[in-house]
Every structure is written in C-alpha cells, then in structure tokens.
C-alpha cells in the first residue's frame, strides 16, 4: 500500500459534505422511521450514514435508475406538413459527477456486469455510459458476511478491489482510504490526511485477513455446460422452483440484473419515452402481442434467470453475471436459493435436495 | 429548448412521414415511409432482412422487417398486422402522419452466399414480408440467381399480401405458386396448406436454398417437409420473432439462450436454430 | 400557490346511462342552472363502477367525484346498483384512511325524470367542492396532470 | 414434529405430494417445501419461523396436478387456513382434493425484531422452540429469546391461531391472543389528521420498488399472470417512479381484496422495504366487519359481501 489516507469516524460527515460540493454522493443510510432499513441515498448533512450495515437494494439505481426518461416528445403545430403538426424529439440530458461511498465490494463489482453490455456495444447505451464515466466507487472492505453472502463463489471476495476506485478499510478510530484507480486517488486526496505508517500497517493486516476469507462455498463460475445439460429437465426445475412466487424482488435488489422495459407515458402526442426496471420473472416480460409467451411459467422464467447469469452471459461476455451479494437469497419471500440451484446443476438426477 | 439530435443515441428515432398506406388484408396494412431529412433518406443503407422499430409516440415502439428491397430506395416499406397495442395504433395512422423509425437493426439474409443458387421461398400470411425484401432484391439482380420459386399461402385469397405485384414478380421470372387453405369462389390457384403444396411441388434441394417465414405451426411442418425433400439444415433459412423493446441487445427479453434475436437475428439458418436451447 | 387556487375546479361525474344521465339531460333541457364544475362520463350502469375509478380520479387530482345511478330497486338491469352501493360505500369509508378527503366523493341516485333533483345534487356537491378548494391528489412529485386529464383517463 | 412426520408417513400412499416447510439456507429461514416422496418427509420442519402462507400455492398446484385420485397434502397455520377458506368460498380450490393438516400456531417471528433481539449476529446453525422460547444457536453459543418479544405484527392481532377447515389438527390448541377483532394499528393511522395520513402514506409508499412481492405472496391475488396493475390497455399505472403510480398499484391490490382479505399479513411480511401494506387490507376488513358483519375465510359456505347484495339494507 504505497499511498493511503486516513479518515476519522468523527470526520465522516464533514468529508461527505465536502465531496457533495462537486458530486452527488450516494451512501448507505437508514430512514428515521425504519432504522433497520438501509438503502443508498443522496448524502445531505444530518443523514444517518450506515457504513456498518449491508444495504437492502444495491447501488444499482445510482447508474441505472428505476425509471428514467430516454426522450421527450412534443407535438408542434406546423401547417406546412400534411398532418398539420410535427413531433419534436428531445433527448437532452445532464450528467452530474457521482460518488458511491461506502458500498460493499459486491456492489461496485456488480457494475462489471453492466459495463460490457451497456458501454461496449454493438450499441453503446449513452445514458448509462455517460453516468458511468463520471462515477467513482469507494467500497468498504466487508467484514460481516451473512449466511446468504457468496462473493467468493463467483470469483470475488470481501476485499475485492475490482470495480472499485478506492477502498475503505476499517481501522482503529476510522478508515484508511486506499486508492485503487487514479480517479480514486484524485477523489481521496482532498478528504483525508495522509495515513500514518502504523495505520497503513493495520489496514494492510485487515486487508490481508479479510482477503483470505472465503465467503460462500465452492465455485459457481464454470457451470455453463451443466446448465445446458439441465435445460430440459423439468423435474430439476420444478424441484427447485415450485415454491417461487414469480415476483420481481430478486431482480430488483440484484446489483447485476439490468433488464428493462421501454414505455411511452403520455397524454396524446406529448410525453416521455421512459426506461424502467423490468424483471425476467414477470409474465409480461416476454409475452407477445399474439398471446404467445416463450417463457409462459415461472419454471421457464427462473430457468432463464439462472441461465442468463451462469451460462448465457458467460458465453457472450466471458464472466458470470453475478457478484455474490446474496440479496436475492436474503430477501426472497420464500427463500429461493440460487446458489443451491446452480450448485445442483451438474449433479445426477437424485440430488435435488 | 435544448438542441438535441445527437447521432450517438441508438434510442433516438429518426422522424419520418407516412407517404402511403396500403390495406393489404382485413388486418394487415403496409406503410411506405420517407425519412424527413432528405440527406438522411439518401444516405440510408440496409441489407435485406434487417428490421426497424416504428414509433407511435405516446403508445410505443414495435419491430417490423423492412420489406422493401435495398435496391429500391424512394421509401422504406413495413407491413403491419393488427395484433397488439402498438400495431393497433399504427393502423389508426393516416398518410402524411409523422412516425418514428429506428433502423436498420439486426442481421440480414446472406445475399452474396445465395448468388448462383436456386432459391425456394415458402411463406405464409404476413410471413411473406421478410421474404419480399429478398425476393425483390433478387428480382432486381435477377441474373445473379438461378431458379426462384415462391410458395405463398394464406387462409383465404383476401389474406394474401402484395396481390397487386404478383404479376411483377412473375414478369421477373419468379415461379409463383399461390395457395389458400380451402376452396373459394373464383379462386383458380392451388388449394391446401403450404406444407402440403410444398410436398406436391417437391423442389429439388440440389444447389438450392429454402427461405421460409410464417406462423409457427406452418414453419414446423415446412421444416419437416424440407427435411423430407432432402434439404440440409444449412440450406434452410428462416426469420424469428420475439417480443422486443430496445432492439439493440440490451433489454434482455428477446434471447433464446445466449442468442439475442434483435442483434444476432432475425435471420437464422436451421443449423443455428438446432444449436439453440429449445425455448421457442 | 396562487396558480393552484386559480385552477378551475373539476368534478368527475360517473352517470348511469339509464337514469342519471337522463336526469342530467332533463335538467339541461329544462334549463335548470347548474354550476360548471362537472365533467360527465356515461357508464352503462352504476354496477360498472369500479371503486378504483374513484380512487384514481382523486389520486390524480380531480377535485370531486360524483357517482349517480338509478334509485335502488329501479335499476335497468334489476340489481346493478345494489352491487354498486356496497362498493361505493366501502370506498367512501376507505378514502380517509389513505389521506383522501371523503367529502370529495359523493354517490347518489337520480332518475331520468328528476331534473330538479339533479340540479340540487350538482349544486350542493359543487358547493362542497368549492368550499374544499383544489385537491392535492397523491404524489405531487409525479408530473402533475390536471383534473381534466384525470377525467380523460377514463375516456 | 414427530407427530407431523408420523402422521404424514402413515398417510403418504394416499397423497400426491405434501406442501410444508423445510429448513432454508439457514435455520432461521424455513422455506416452502414440495415433498413428493416418502423420504422427503424427513425434511419437514414446523416452528415459529415457518412464516410463508402455503395456501398461496393451492390454486396453481391443483390446476397443474394430474388426476391421480390422490389428494394433495398441505400444512396450514391458523391464518393460512382462513385463506384456504376464502379460496374455497370463491371456487378457486376444491376442498375435497386436499388433505389439510392444521397446525395450531404460537405466532410467527418478525425477522427484523429477531435480529435486534439477538446479541450475536453470527450465522445461525440451529433453532429450536419450546414453551414460548426460541433457542438460537450460532458459533457465539445459544441464546434464548421469548417468542412474544419478536412476534410479527400480524400475529399480535391474531384471533385464529387454531386452523379452521382442517382434516386433522396436530398439536395442542393455542389460546388466541385476541378474542375480538383488533384494529389498533389502523386506529393509530386514523388518529392522524387527513393531511398527516396522506403524508404518511406518501412517504411509506415512496420506498415501494414495485417488485410486486406483496401481490404475488397474496393467496387471494388470484389473477396471477393477468394482473390489472401491469395491463397497458386499459392502463392503470405508468412505469414512472413517482408515488402516485405506487399508490395506485397498492390501491388496486387493496380494493381487489375488499371483503376477501383474510388478514394473513403475507403482503407486509414479504415487503423488502418495510411498507405496512397490510394496513390497507386491515382497514378493508374492518369496513366489511362494520357494514356486513363479515370475516373472510371463516365460513366456506358464505358469499363474499361484494359478490352479493341485500335489497333491504339501508344506510348505504
């Protein structure tokens, strides 16, 4: 650790306020009315920042809002054309710099699933890409994995710096801030003082210790083939999925689920075309106008969800579309466990436990 | 008002105007669309089989094949069957109305690979639309291709699209075989389902490629019929349809396994279809 | 705020085709003077009334919702308004729980011949709405739609 | 537990499958289990953490079930059994195709309250329940926590801990916490002014993700894949992220449950952002009680009040 800064616990609010002068700063925070409910919120002085708690929803909405305007359309009178009006389109957008501060490594890493899809093409998504370019991730080295966490099983880990621009390492009395990228270094410089050698040593110890921890069993990254072999095994899918309620909770809390819908919300010829979160678990997702639905029941829908993350996405982009945050497992109303489903893929018929 | 029209936004439609609407069948209309910007229209290039997203602002977008051939560029033609929300809205539009177009999207028929070959088109109902763009491309470059046989069927004579240009097709040296599901007064062409007519005609697979599009049940029996006639998987091309939103490989719904119909298709060979997971 | 106060108040009226729509017509033909707040949506029967019509109109900022049908026992379809009055009473009692003012919703029965009564109903309810002023609806963070648009949502 | 296993073992030849609960990814999370073989029965668990209302699966599973003449076994708590009653009332479930095992319920746990009550936050390795005490074991040792302290809100107002409509009741009856309908949480909302109530719901509902877990977990939301809330024609809600659309969705859910909701509280239990959505339905239930003296799901022969009428009723 060549370069590092120290931020005392007591200085956290001040540092966040300082960052907020140039950027929207998103932090995990709890509601006054619901202390147990931690979500990413825009920092403002007085907000109860909760670096100690895992957030319910990932930081996904920072770069990929639940609902955003792609373009606005307005009807403009023009008697020179036969219709008597034209449609004016406006896709103007302003992008503010963003800092995601205190997310967990899995949250930052989640965007590595978005990046190849939204920024590389064949078509580049300008809305995501422009925000992405102006976003800095400061992730907190994670020391409180629970029974639903499995980041190590997807090739990450509780101290994974991948996807983060800087790391927050808890030490006595505060945090050591360690830059990972140049952008991270530029961000940290003004908010922390240079860490003392013993603080750096302590931070390095934490990093080493956490880095050695394994969160989640086995490896879920090489099961693309097993998935294809299981594709047409209804008994397997029923055994795992009969209890699924087919709601969209798992996809909405997921840091890597990026499927969306596009709808026009308008009165007459004035309105907006918006992009909003959609879920592969919803029947309408693939329902065609003719009434045909290629994924008519939760079995096909959940199979596609597993396939997308652990087979199709690796085939296209060379990595699994899962960061192991465990939210889909933790928050599922009926505790469907995607780890168990994926782990059982290669097993022989009898192992449907 | 901020100035827009950034060319790098794949979600931003090009504005066009409906020049002409043709009522093809009781529930299918053909739209001939010209982009409003003459330079854009002049520069517009596409390959046969590629699709476009038509926007009815306030209702939404839907995907249709550009069924005019790239060899004829005074307008872009789309045929629309009234089925859902957007297609109903499209059917309510009039000539002269503004319309949004995002095109071209998707892959196309491998025209160069088809050169020098005999061609068999097998179409049913609205499924003739994607075949038409290729058929007319070939008609306009007739000498580059061998025999062109078209088997085109619909439920009834009035459900056949493009009736007004059948003579033009024949004049271009296309062997056009028309069929309807049952007898109708005044109908003098074939009677019977498309796969049946295919079996009766039995076009030789030798140096031939079959291109088929139609309702799923027809496709199923046509594929079986072609196999019966000795066609290999890579001699058969078809186009797939899925519910689409973005059309550019992002929104996640039109996949069949790891294949995205919107960017990897809509044109697939039977060899490719067989490699996909079975989720049609 | 002043802009809000100047906004013309709107009442969405759901009138059954057989009685109250006729009653409103009778009132019009007889040239009974009525306040101009009401926008009428004709429904085949009050049995068609989905309580959600009431909730959606009020949530979107309609200043009042008036439902009127045939008198009980006089329904064109015999029993439509018997079903309706259960639903309407239920929603009337539910509105205040979610923060919508129940005084903004009124349901009543007016026959085709009761032009005079229709005039009274509209006048009285309009006075209530005038007194209450504009309805903030639910979710002011949503792009504001006018009450007129709220009415057209059902068209 | 032993009684439950033994009972189902003895009957298993006559059952197509048994729907119950098994240990999920940790002992704190029992998860619905579809047990199709005799050996599977050993996975069954039953304790105050068995929160999911299994009646939600019944219409679907009966529709898909092969006609083997065998019954489908299902374990139901008291509140779950009322949902079954309502489904039978409305014709979505044929009671005679089920074998209902009624389990008198001491109450279920509110996971958030439990997390607060626990001293340790370590992953749990074992859970047991006896005499009103939960014994929770982790690497930090075993903690004993009174169920009463960590009870879910729905259970604090429970009048039906003992299942109705069951073929067999396994276990001793549990004295109900309430003998009369209790609406104290509804009262608390109603104590606010109209303005405050609007602000309260706007703030609560602003958190809604529209994941529709509340709807899908609801045993009485029988439209399933054809929900009005997602319909575009007619269009009830937009895809905007504003409170109004969230509000409208919840109104659709609540009003469609008017006179039908059996107050099982699943909608609220599954909400990831902690919106007290069951209050809407509790208010509806109270109105149904006041107007028509009706309690959904208690009498399988009764007609839900909004599906019938009474020409003689006055005052409405």
CATH, residue C137: 3.40.50
Residues constituting chain D: 316
In A212-241, the residues whose Cβ lies within 8 Å of chain D are 238-239
- Taking an 8 Å cut-off on Cβ atoms, the answer to whether D306 and C86 are in contact is yes
Identify whether the C-beta of residue C110 lies closer than 8 Å to the C-beta of residue C73.
Answer: no
Class (C level, CATH) for A1-64+96-217 = alpha beta
User: Residue B133: inside a domain, yes or no?
Assistant: yes
Rounded Cα–Cα distance for residues C92 and C94 (Å): 5
Q: How confident is the model at residue B196 (pLDDT cuts 50, 70, 90)?
A: very high
pLDDT at B115 exceeding the cut of 90: yes
Which structural domain, as residue segments, surrounds residue B25?
14-105
**For residue C144, cis peptide bond before it (omega within 30 degrees of 0):** no
pLDDT at A350 exceeding the cut of 80: no
CA distances C26 to B279, C13, C81, C115, Å, are: 61, 16, 21, 5
Q: What is the mean pLDDT of residues A105-131?
A: 94
Rounded Cα–Cα distance for residues D61 and C151 (Å): 42
In A96-115, the residues whose Cβ lies within 8 Å of chain B are none
User: Residue C134: inside a domain, yes or no?
Assistant: yes
pLDDT at B122 exceeding the cut of 90: yes
Q: How confident is the model at residue C150 (pLDDT cuts 50, 70, 90)?
A: very low
Chain A residue numbers touching B258 (CB-CB < 8 A): 311-313, 315-316
Q: Comparing B250 with A352, which gets the higher pLDDT?
A: B250
Question: Which pLDDT tens digit goes with each residue over A278-335?
Answer: 999 999 999 999 899 999 999 999 999 999 999 999 999 999 999 999 999 999 999 9
Q: Residue D261: CB partners within 8 Å, gap ≥ 6? A: D220, D281, D282, D284, D285, D296
Torsion sign, CA atoms D12, D13, D18, D24? positive
CATH, residue B166: 3.40.50.80
Whole-number percent of chain A with pLDDT over 70: 98
pLDDT of res. D190: 97
Instruction: Let me know if A271 is exposed, middle or buried by CB neighbors in 10 A (0-12, 13-18, 19+).
Output: buried
Burial C33-66 (b: 16+ CB within 10 A, else e): ebbebbbbbebebbbbbbbbbbbbbbbbbbbbbb
Residue in D242, D255, D280 nearest the CB of C142? D242
Question: Which pLDDT tens digit goes with each residue over C119-141?
Answer: 999 999 999 999 999 999 998 75
Rounded Cα–Cα distance for residues A186 and A22 (Å): 13
Rounded Cα–Cα distance for residues D224 and D208 (Å): 20
Identify whether the C-beta of residue C9 lies closer than 8 Å to the C-beta of residue C97.
Answer: no
CA dihedral D238, D241, D244, D246 (to 10 degrees): 90
Rounded Cα–Cα distance for residues D111 and D102 (Å): 24
Which structural domain, as residue segments, surrounds residue C122?
7-152
Identify whether the C-beta of residue D227 lies closer than 8 Å to the C-beta of residue D248.
Answer: no
Identify whether the C-beta of residue A333 lies closer than 8 Å to the C-beta of residue D52.
Answer: yes
CA nearest A140: which of A154, A161, A110, A155? Answer: A161
Domain boundaries, chain D: 111-150, 184-306
Q: How confident is the model at residue A31 (pLDDT cuts 50, 70, 90)?
A: confident
CATH, residue B55: 2.40.30.10
Test the A interface: residue of C143, C145, C153, C154 with most A CBs within 10 Å: C143
Identify whether the C-beta of residue D58 lies closer than 8 Å to the C-beta of residue D32.
Answer: no
pLDDT of res. C143: 47
User: Residue C78: inside a domain, yes or no?
Assistant: yes
Q: What mean pLDDT value characterizes chain A?
A: 92
Rounded Cα–Cα distance for residues B120 and B132 (Å): 12
Torsion sign, CA atoms A132, A138, A141, A144? negative
Rounded Cα–Cα distance for residues A28 and D148 (Å): 31
User: Residue C37: inside a domain, yes or no?
Assistant: yes
Could you tell me which residues are beta bridge partners of residue A274?
Answer: A69, A263
Rounded Cα–Cα distance for residues B219 and B225 (Å): 10
**For residue B123, cis peptide bond before it (omega within 30 degrees of 0):** no
User: Residue C2: inside a domain, yes or no?
Assistant: no
- Taking an 8 Å cut-off on Cβ atoms, the answer to whether A243 and D274 are in contact is no
Domain boundaries, chain A: 1-64+96-217, 219-353
Distance from chain centroid for Cα D33: 16
- Taking an 8 Å cut-off on Cβ atoms, the answer to whether B252 and A258 are in contact is yes
Q: How many domains does chain B have?
A: 2
CA nearest D231: which of C138, A263, B146, C103? Answer: A263
Question: Which pLDDT tens digit goes with each residue over C33-92?
Answer: 999 999 999 999 999 999 999 999 999 999 999 999 999 999 999 999 999 999 999 999
Q: How confident is the model at residue B280 (pLDDT cuts 50, 70, 90)?
A: confident
What's the count of helices (H) and strands (E) in chain C, helices before strands? 6, 4
SS3 C109: strand
Rounded Cα–Cα distance for residues D250 and D214 (Å): 9
Test the C interface: residue of D190, D198, D305 with most C CBs within 10 Å: D198
pLDDT of res. A351: 45
User: Residue C57: inside a domain, yes or no?
Assistant: yes
DSSP annotation of B242 reads: -
Chain A contact partners (≥3 CB pairs within 8 A): B, C, D
User: Residue C142: inside a domain, yes or no?
Assistant: yes
Q: Residue B88: CB partners within 8 Å, gap ≥ 6? A: B82
B26 has a chain A CB within 8 A of its CB = no
CA distances D12 to B55, C76, D38, D74, D169, Å, are: 58, 55, 7, 12, 17
CA distances A342 to A154, A238, B242, Å, are: 11, 14, 27
Identify whether the C-beta of residue D243 lies closer than 8 Å to the C-beta of residue C139.
Answer: yes
User: Residue B140: inside a domain, yes or no?
Assistant: yes
User: Residue C136: inside a domain, yes or no?
Assistant: yes
Residues of chain D with pLDDT under 50: none
Show the DSSP H helices in D134-226 as ranges: 153-156, 184-190, 194-206, 213-217
CA distances B251 to A286, A319, B11, B114, D112, Å, are: 11, 18, 12, 33, 35
Q: Comparing C14 with D230, which gets the higher pLDDT?
A: C14
Q: What mean pLDDT value characterizes chain B?
A: 94
- DSSP characters for A141-190? PP----TT--GGGGT--TT--TT-SEEEEEETTEEEEEE-SHHHHHHHTT
CA nearest D296: which of D190, D189, D219? Answer: D219
Rounded Cα–Cα distance for residues D231 and A288 (Å): 13
Q: Residue D57: CB partners within 8 Å, gap ≥ 6? A: A242, A243, D19, D32, D74
Q: What is the mean pLDDT of residues A329-345?
A: 95
DSSP annotation of D56 reads: G
pLDDT of res. A134: 95
- B165 and B84 in a common domain: no
Residue in A34, A265, A333 nearest the CB of D213? A333
Rounded Cα–Cα distance for residues A224 and A229 (Å): 9
Q: What mean pLDDT value characterizes chain C?
A: 88
Chain A residue numbers touching B100 (CB-CB < 8 A): 87, 89
- B193 and B73 in a common domain: no
- B225 and B147 in a common domain: yes
Q: How confident is the model at residue A348 (pLDDT cuts 50, 70, 90)?
A: low
Q: What is the mean pLDDT of residues B250-276?
A: 94
CA nearest A145: which of A51, A218, A214, A49? Answer: A214
Beta strands in chain B (DSSP E): 14-25, 28-35, 51-56, 60-65, 76-81, 98-105, 118-124, 148-154, 174-180, 190-191, 208-213, 236-239, 255-256, 259-260, 267-269
Could you tell me which residues are beta bridge partners of residue B52?
Answer: B64
Strand ranges of the sheet holding B60-65, from the earlier edge strand across to the other edge: B60-65, B51-56, B98-105, B14-25, B28-35, B76-81
Test the B interface: residue of A113, A234, A264 with most B CBs within 10 Å: A264
Nearest-Cα distance to chain A for C91, in Å, is 27
- B176 and B96 in a common domain: no
pLDDT of res. A190: 83
Q: How many domains does chain C have?
A: 1
Pairing of strands C64-69, C11-16: parallel
Rounded Cα–Cα distance for residues B270 and B235 (Å): 8
Nearest-Cα distance to chain C for A267, in Å, is 8
D24 has a chain A CB within 8 A of its CB = yes
| Chains B and C touch each other (3 or more Cβ pairs < 8 A) | no
Nearest-Cα distance to chain A for D61, in Å, is 9
Q: Residue D115: CB partners within 8 Å, gap ≥ 6? A: A36, D121
Task: Detail the residues of B annotated as belonging to a binding site for [2Fe-2S] cluster.
Answer: 246, 251, 254, 262
Rounded Cα–Cα distance for residues C10 and D203 (Å): 27
Could you tell me which residues are beta bridge partners of residue B63?
Answer: B53
Closest residue, chain D, to C91 (C-alpha): D255
pLDDT at C147 exceeding the cut of 60: no
SS3 C100: coil
Distance from chain centroid for Cα A15: 25
């Amino acid at each position: 650790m060549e370069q590092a800064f120290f931020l005392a616990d007591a200085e956290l609010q001040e540092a966040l306020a300082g960052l907020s002068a140039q950027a929207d700063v998103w932090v995990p925070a709890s509601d006054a009315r619901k202390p147990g409910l931690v979500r990413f919120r825009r920092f403002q002085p007085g907000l109860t920042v909760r670096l100690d708690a895992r957030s319910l929803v990932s930081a996904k909405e920072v770069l990929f809002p639940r609902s955003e305007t792609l373009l606005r359309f307005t009807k403009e009178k023009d008697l020179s054309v036969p219709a008597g009006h034209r449609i004016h389109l406006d896709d103007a957008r302003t992008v503010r710099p963003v800092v995601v501060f205190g997310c967990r490594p899995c949250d930052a890493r989640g965007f590595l699933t978005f990046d190849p899809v939204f920024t590389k093409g064949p078509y580049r998504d300008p809305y995501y890409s422009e925000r992405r370019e102006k976003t800095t991730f400061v992730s907190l080295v994670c020391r409180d994995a629970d029974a639903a966490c499995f980041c190590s099983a997807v090739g990450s880990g509780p101290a994974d710096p991948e996807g983060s621009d800087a790391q927050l390492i808890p030490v006595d009395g505060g945090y050591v801030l360690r830059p990972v990228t140049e952008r991270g270094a530029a961000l940290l410089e003004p908010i922390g003082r240079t860490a003392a050698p013993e603080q750096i040593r302590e931070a390095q110890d934490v990093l080493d210790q956490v880095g050695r921890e394994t969160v989640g069993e086995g490896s879920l990254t090489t099961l693309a083939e097993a998935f294809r072999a299981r594709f047409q095994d209804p008994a397997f899918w029923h055994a795992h999925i009969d209890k699924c309620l087919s709601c969209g909770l798992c996809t909405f809390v997921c840091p890597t689920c990026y499927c969306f819908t596009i709808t026009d919300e308008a009165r007459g010829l004035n309105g907006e075309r918006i992009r909003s979160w959609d879920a592969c678990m919803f029947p309408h997702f693939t329902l065609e106008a003719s009434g045909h639905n290629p994924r008519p029941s939760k079995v096909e829908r959940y199979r596609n969800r597993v396939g997308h993350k652990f087979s199709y996405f690796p085939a296209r982009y060379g990595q699994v579309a899962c960061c192991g945050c465990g939210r889909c497992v933790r928050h599922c109303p009926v505790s469907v466990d995607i780890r168990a489903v994926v782990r059982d893929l290669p097993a022989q018929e009898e192992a449907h436990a | 008002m901020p100035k827009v029209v950034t060319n790098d936004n794949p979600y931003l439609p090009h504005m066009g105007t409906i020049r002409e609407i043709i009522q093809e069948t009781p529930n299918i209309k053909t739209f001939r669309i010209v982009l409003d910007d003459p330079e854009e229209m002049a520069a517009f290039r596409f390959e046969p089989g590629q699709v476009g997203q038509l926007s009815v602002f306030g209702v939404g977008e839907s995907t249709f094949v550009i069924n005019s051939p790239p060899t004829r560029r005074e307008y872009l033609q789309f045929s629309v069957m009234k089925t859902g929300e957007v297609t109903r809205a499209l059917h309510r539009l009039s000539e002269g109305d503004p319309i949004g177009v995002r095109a071209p999207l998707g892959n196309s028929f491998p025209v160069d690979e088809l050169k020098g070959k005999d061609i068999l088109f097998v179409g049913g109902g609205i499924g003739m639309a994607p075949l038409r763009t290729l058929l007319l491309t070939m008609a306009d470059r007739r000498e580059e291709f061998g025999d062109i046989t078209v088997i085109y069927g619909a439920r009834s004579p009035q459900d056949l699209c493009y009736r007004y240009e059948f003579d033009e097709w024949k004049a271009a040296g296309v062997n056009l075989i028309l069929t309807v599901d049952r007898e109708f007064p005044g109908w003098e062409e074939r009677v019977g389902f498309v796969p049946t007519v295919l079996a009766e005609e039995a076009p030789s697979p030798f140096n031939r490629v079959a291109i088929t599009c139609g309702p799923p049940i027809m496709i199923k029996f046509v594929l079986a019929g072609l196999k019966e006639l000795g066609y290999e998987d890579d001699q058969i091309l078809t186009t797939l349809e899925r519910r689409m939103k973005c059309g550019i490989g992002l929104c996640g719904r039109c996949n069949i396994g790891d294949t995205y119909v919107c960017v990897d298709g809509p044109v697939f060979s039977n060899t490719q279809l067989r490699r996909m997971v079975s989720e049609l | 705020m002043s802009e809000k106060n100047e906004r013309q108040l709107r009442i969405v009226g759901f009138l059954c085709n057989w009685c109250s729509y006729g009653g409103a017509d009778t009132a019009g033909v007889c040239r009974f003077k009525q306040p101009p707040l009401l926008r009428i949506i004709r429904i085949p029967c009050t049995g068609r009334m989905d309580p959600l019509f009431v909730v959606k109109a009020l949530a979107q900022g309609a200043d009042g919702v008036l439902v009127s049908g045939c008198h009980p026992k006089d329904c064109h379809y015999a029993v439509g308004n018997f079903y309706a009055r259960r639903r309407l009473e239920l929603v009337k009692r539910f509105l205040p729980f979610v923060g919508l003012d129940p005084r903004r919703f009124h349901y009543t029965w007016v026959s085709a011949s009761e032009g005079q009564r229709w005039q009274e109903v509209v006048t009285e309810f309009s006075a209530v709405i005038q007194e209450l002023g504009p309805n903030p609806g639910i979710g002011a963070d949503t792009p504001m739609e006018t009450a007129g648009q709220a009415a057209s949502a059902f068209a | 537990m032993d009684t439950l296993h033994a009972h189902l073992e003895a009957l298993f030849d006559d059952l197509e499958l048994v729907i119950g609960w098994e240990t999920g990814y940790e002992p704190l999370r029992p998860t619905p289990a579809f047990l199709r073989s005799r050996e599977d029965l050993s996975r069954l668990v039953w304790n105050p953490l068995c929160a999911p209302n299994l009646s939600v699966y019944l219409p679907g599973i009966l529709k898909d079930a092969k006609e083997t003449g065998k019954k489908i076994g299902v374990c139901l708590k008291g509140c779950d059994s009322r949902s079954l009653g309502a489904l039978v009332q409305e014709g979505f479930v044929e009671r005679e195709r089920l074998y209902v095992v009624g389990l008198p319920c001491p109450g279920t746990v509110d996971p958030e309250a439990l997390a607060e009550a626990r001293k340790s936050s370590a992953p749990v390795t074992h859970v047991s329940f006896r005499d009103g005490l939960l014994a929770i074991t982790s690497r930090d040792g075993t903690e004993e926590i009174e169920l009463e302290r960590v009870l879910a809100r729905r259970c604090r107002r429970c009048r039906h801990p003992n299942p109705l409509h069951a073929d067999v009741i396994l276990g001793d009856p549990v004295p109900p916490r309430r003998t009369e309908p209790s609406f104290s949480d509804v009262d608390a909302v109603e104590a606010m002014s109209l303005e405050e109530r609007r602000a309260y719901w706007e703030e609560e509902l602003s958190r809604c993700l529209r994941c529709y877990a509340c709807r899908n977990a609801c045993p009485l939301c029988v439209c399933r894949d054809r929900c009005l809330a997602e319909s575009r024609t007619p269009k009830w809600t937009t895809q905007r992220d504003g409170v109004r659309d969230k509000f409208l969705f919840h109104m659709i859910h609540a009003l469609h449950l008017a006179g039908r909701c059996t107050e099982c509280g699943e909608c609220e239990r599954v909400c990831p952002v902690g919106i007290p959505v069951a209050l809407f339905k509790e208010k509806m239930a109270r109105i149904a009680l006041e107007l028509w003296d009706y309690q959904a799901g208690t009498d399988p022969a009764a007609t839900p009040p909004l599906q019938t009428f009474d020409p003689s009723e006055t005052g409405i």
